Amino acid sequence: MQPVEPQRLIARARILGDRIDTAGLERKDTLSINPLAFRAGRGFAVVFRYGVVVTVGLSPIEEDEIAAGLRMRVRSPLTRPEEETATIEIAPEHDDQVVPGGKIAIRQLTPERLIVIADILAKSTALAQNEIEVAAVFDLIEPLARRLAEKGRASGGRRAILKHIGSTLLVQHRVSGRVAVEEKPDVLWDQSGLERLYARTEDEYELRERTATLHRKLAVISETATVLTDLIQTNRSLRLEVVVVLLIALEIAINLLPLAHALNR
């Protein structure tokens, strides 16, 4: 018997924004509700509420059509969406694993395997976007930290510092609330046999290591924001103390004026 030629499909994950409203998008060909997975042409699409859509086996034009159809449901859309691609190779003799080179080899593309692979790709894409945003905040706070170390004060003015703190807090909120990387997809509760595929793909994309690194960077950002906030409060307190001292000195001078006039007579 001639060996069956493996079928190869391209899976592409694209983060469109902070959130995607999936309510009311259910269709007759829906494969899953959470995440929302459905057939699209000859392939599939999986939509995650934290802003990522994963397509499998679609042409670039079909992928763009899916993204365009979701545009009105995207909150805080990104102008330059981050993407992640993978090759899925399907053949009966495969053992549900990630082979050297990053290719995902599976026996058949069942809805459950589709969701497991899409879940990993979506999380990896969201992490990549988070890493970009955190790096941008590091670029903002690094000059402040350098000036603070060299001059003993953060230059740029109170408003500029507050803007940096605002950017820091915004990234913290978006990164912490966007996606729970540690959580496994619900499909694994019913299909425990897919645990190995999930674990192998998770290791390939280093989700746990990247998440730990991201949390460490967020901790540094949080500490920096706290230091800058305390610095602003200290400067304000010093200015208030100076004003109070000047007012006291002025009051003393006013009270001494009559005594000075009396002595001069």
Residue 17's nearest CA partner among 53, 44, 64, 65 is 53
Whether the upstream peptide bond of residue 3 has omega within 30° of 0, thus cis, is no
Residues 85, 227: Cα–Cα separation, whole Å: 40
Asked if 43 and 88 touch (Cβ cutoff 8 Å), the reply is no
Please tell me the predicted confidence (pLDDT) of residue 61. 93
Supply angle C-alpha 147, 148, 152, rounded to 5: 115
Residues whose CB falls within 8 Å of the CB of residue 144, separated by 6 or more in sequence, listed in order: 154, 156, 161, 164, 224, 228
Token readout for 62 is: 């079909």
SS3 label, residue 104: strand
Which residue shows structure tokens 């829906």? Answer: 30
Is the overall model pTM greater than 0.95, yes or no? no
Residues 93, 107: Cα–Cα separation, whole Å: 6
Q: pLDDT tens for the chain, 265 residues: list them.
A: 455 677 899 999 999 988 899 888 877 778 888 899 999 888 999 999 989 999 999 999 999 999 999 989 998 888 887 899 999 999 888 888 888 778 899 988 999 999 999 999 999 998 898 888 888 877 777 777 777 666 666 555 566 666 666 766 766 666 666 667 778 888 888 887 889 999 999 999 998 898 888 888 878 777 777 777 666 666 666 666 677 777 777 777 777 777 666 666 6
Please tell me the predicted confidence (pLDDT) of residue 153. 60
SS3 content of the chain, % helix, strand, coil (to 5): 55, 20, 25
Please tell me the predicted confidence (pLDDT) of residue 179. 64
